[in-house]
Amino acid sequence: MSEQPRKLAKVRGDTPTKKGNKWKKKCDNNNNPRRSGQNVRKKLNNTKSKELPGRRVNEDIKGETNTFVDGMYRRVEPYDYSFNCFVKGRWIGKSLIDVFSKEFQANTREHYERAISNGLITVNNRRVLPDVKLKNNQQICNTVHRHEPPVCSSAIDVILEDDNYVVVNKPASIPVHPCGRYRHNTVLALLGHEQHKWGLYTCHRLDRLTSGVLVFAKTVSAATVMEKALKARDVKKTYLCRVVGKFPKKCTCTEPIVVVSHRVGVCSVGEEGKPCETEFMRLSYNASTNTSIVECKPHTGRMHQLRVHLRHLGHPIDNDPIYNCCEWDQSVEEVVEAISARRFEMDETTACRPYDPTKMREGCVDCRKTYKDPTKDKMCIHLHAWKLSCSIGTFEAPRPQWSIVDNAEEEDNEEDGEENQVQEREAETESNNVNNTFTNFTCSVM
C-alpha cells in the first residue's frame, strides 16, 4: 500500500481492514458510521430544538444598540450586525452573487456586488469574487449597518407573571421574536430592554400587525408543557375582528389552507392545503360603516387562518393590507407579485435616518435612503387575540377601541325589526289561510 493513502487515512482517523487494500471509517461507540460535518450539524440543531422549544433573546444583545420612544413610535439606533449561515442545499453550485440577488431581494444586484467586493460579504471568513461557486458546508457572513423600522410606542402590559410564565398584551405592529428587519424592536427584546425580562421562551406567536394575549415561558420545562398543550389542541383561543359587510350571525369554515408564497407570506384556500376549522359569530353590525365585529374561534393553527377564511367567506378584515386589496380579483400569482412590489415602495422623508450623524456609515445604502414612517392605521389590522384558555389559566386582553362601537342598540333594533317583519308575515299568511278556509267552506255549503 502506498504511503499517501496511509497518511490520508491517518488524518481522517480511518483504520485499514484485514485485507489491507480497503479502508474502513471509524465507528462511534454505538457502532454507527461516522457522519459528515453537515449531518452532525443537522443532528445538533435538531437536538437543540428539542431541548429548547420556542425562541428566546438573551441579554447578550443588550449592548448592540439603544431603543427609545419618539412620540407614537419606538425606534432603534442603527447598529452593525453580521448575518451568518451555512450554504443551503439549493445554493450548492450557484454563484454567490446569484444567490444573494435572487434569495434576498431587499437590495439590488449592484448593491450585493459592491458588498462582496468591499469584503462585507465573505465565505469562510475570506474575501471572494462575486461569481465564486458555493460548496457544501461553507459559511457565509454578511455584515450590514442595520436599520430597523419603527414600531408603535404602546406599552407591553403584563397580564400575569409567575415562576413559569409571563402573559402579556401584545401591541400591534411589533413582531414577537427577531425576524426579517426586526431584532430589537420585537416583543422578546423589548421585554428585556424595558422590563429586564431576558431569556423568555416563545410558546406561540401572533402576526406582527395583530394585538392581544401572548404567552411566554421562563423555563424549558414550562415551554414544553405549553408546546404539548398546543399540539394536543388543549389551548382555546378567541379572537375579535372587524370585517367588511354584514357578517352572518353564525357560521363555520372548514376550507383547507395552502401557503402560496413563503417569501411574501401569502396564503389561500386550496384543496391541496392543510385541514382547517374556524367558528365565527357576529357580535354587532354598524350600518353607517358597513362593518361587523366578529368573534372567531380557530380549532387549528394555520398561517393566516382567520384572515384567509374571512377572505374566502367574502368578509375580509376591513384594513387587512394583504387579504382586502383589489389585487385579489386577479390570479394568485399576480396577487403575490403585486404585494411584493408594494412592500418595497419608499417615500421621501427623514424617518429612518440615523439620529446621530456620526453613526452614518460610508457605503451603507440605508443611511442614504429615506423611508416614510407608517401611519397609525397602517401599524395594525383589526384583529385581536382576545382570550386564551389553557391548563395554566384563562387570560383576557382588554378590547381595542376599534372593537368597542356604540351600535348594540342599533343591532338589537335591527334584529327586533327583522323579527317583527317575520311575525307580521306569519300573521298575514295565517290570516290568508283562514280566509281561504272560510271561502272553501262557504262554497261547499252552498
DSSP state of 184: S
Instruction: Indicate if 80 belongs to the active site.
Output: no
Q: Which three cell numbers stand for residue 353?
A: 435616518
Angle made by CA atoms 329, 335, 341, in degrees to the nearest 5 = 135
Report the pLDDT value the prediction gives residue 237, as an integer from 0 to 100.
Answer: 96
Distance of CA 255 to the CA centre of its chain: 21
- Contact between 149 and 93 under an 8 Å Cβ cutoff? The reply is no
Which residues lie across from 117 on neighbouring strands? none
DSSP state of 84: E
In this predicted structure, the answer to whether residue 381 has a pLDDT above a threshold of 80 is yes
Q: Percentage helix, strand, coil, to 5, in the chain?
A: 35, 25, 40
Q: Is the dihedral of CA 225, 227, 232, 237 positive or negative?
A: positive
Please tell me the distance from the alpha carbon of residue 34 to that of residue 153, in angstroms, as a whole number. Answer: 52
Please tell me the distance from the alpha carbon of residue 413 to that of residue 405, in angstroms, as a whole number. Answer: 15
Which among 196, 282, 280 has a CA at the least distance from the CA of 246? Answer: 282
- Contact between 149 and 182 under an 8 Å Cβ cutoff? The reply is yes
Which residues lie across from 394 on neighbouring strands? 389
Region 206-212 average pLDDT: 95
Q: Determine phi and psi for 69, rounding to 5 degrees.
A: -95, 130
Q: What is the pLDDT of residues 100-130, one digit of tens each?
A: 998 887 788 998 999 999 999 999 999 999 9
- Contact between 193 and 62 under an 8 Å Cβ cutoff? The reply is yes
C-alpha distances (whole Å) from 364 to each of 78, 111, 119 are 11, 10, 13
In this predicted structure, the answer to whether residue 235 has a pLDDT above a threshold of 50 is yes
- Helix residue ranges per DSSP H, 142-283: 187-195, 220-231
Q: Which three cell numbers stand for residue 82?
A: 453580521
Report the pLDDT value the prediction gives residue 161, as an integer from 0 to 100.
Answer: 95
Report the pLDDT value the prediction gives residue 26, as an integer from 0 to 100.
Answer: 43
Please tell me the distance from the alpha carbon of residue 389 to that of residue 226, in angstroms, as a whole number. Answer: 11
Q: Helix (H, G, I), strand (E, B), or coil: what is residue 214?
A: strand
Record the pTM: 0.74
C-alpha distances (whole Å) from 5 to each of 9, 17, 25 are 6, 13, 13
Report the pLDDT value the prediction gives residue 351, as an integer from 0 to 100.
Answer: 46
Q: Report the mean per-residue pLDDT for the chain.
A: 80
Q: What is the pLDDT of residues 128-183, one digit of tens each?
A: 999 999 999 999 999 988 889 999 999 999 999 999 999 999 999 999 999 888 99
The pLDDT-based confidence of 355 (bands split at 50, 70, 90) is low
Report the pLDDT value the prediction gives residue 236, as an integer from 0 to 100.
Answer: 95
Report the pLDDT value the prediction gives residue 421, as an integer from 0 to 100.
Answer: 54
Neighbours of 41 (CB within 10 A): 13
In this predicted structure, the answer to whether residue 412 has a pLDDT above a threshold of 70 is no
DSSP state of 303: T
Give the position of cell 462582496. Answer: 116
Report the pLDDT value the prediction gives residue 211, as an integer from 0 to 100.
Answer: 97
Report the pLDDT value the prediction gives residue 415, as an integer from 0 to 100.
Answer: 52
The pLDDT-based confidence of 63 (bands split at 50, 70, 90) is confident
Report the pLDDT value the prediction gives residue 343, as an integer from 0 to 100.
Answer: 62
- Contact between 273 and 256 under an 8 Å Cβ cutoff? The reply is yes
Q: Helix (H, G, I), strand (E, B), or coil: what is residue 50?
A: helix
Report the pLDDT value the prediction gives residue 368, as an integer from 0 to 100.
Answer: 75
In this predicted structure, the answer to whether residue 315 has a pLDDT above a threshold of 80 is yes
Out of 25-29, 156-160, 218-222, 244-248, least confident range:
25-29
Which among 330, 188, 179, 345 has a CA at the least distance from the CA of 265? Answer: 179
DSSP state of 390: E
C-alpha distances (whole Å) from 444 to each of 156, 262, 383, 432, 440 are 81, 76, 66, 18, 6
Q: Which of 207, 373, 377, 412 is catalytic?
A: 207
- Contact between 296 and 251 under an 8 Å Cβ cutoff? The reply is no
- Contact between 81 and 204 under an 8 Å Cβ cutoff? The reply is no
- Contact between 371 and 352 under an 8 Å Cβ cutoff? The reply is yes
Give the position of cell 400587525. Answer: 209
Neighbours of 182 (CB within 10 A): 20
In this predicted structure, the answer to whether residue 72 has a pLDDT above a threshold of 60 is yes
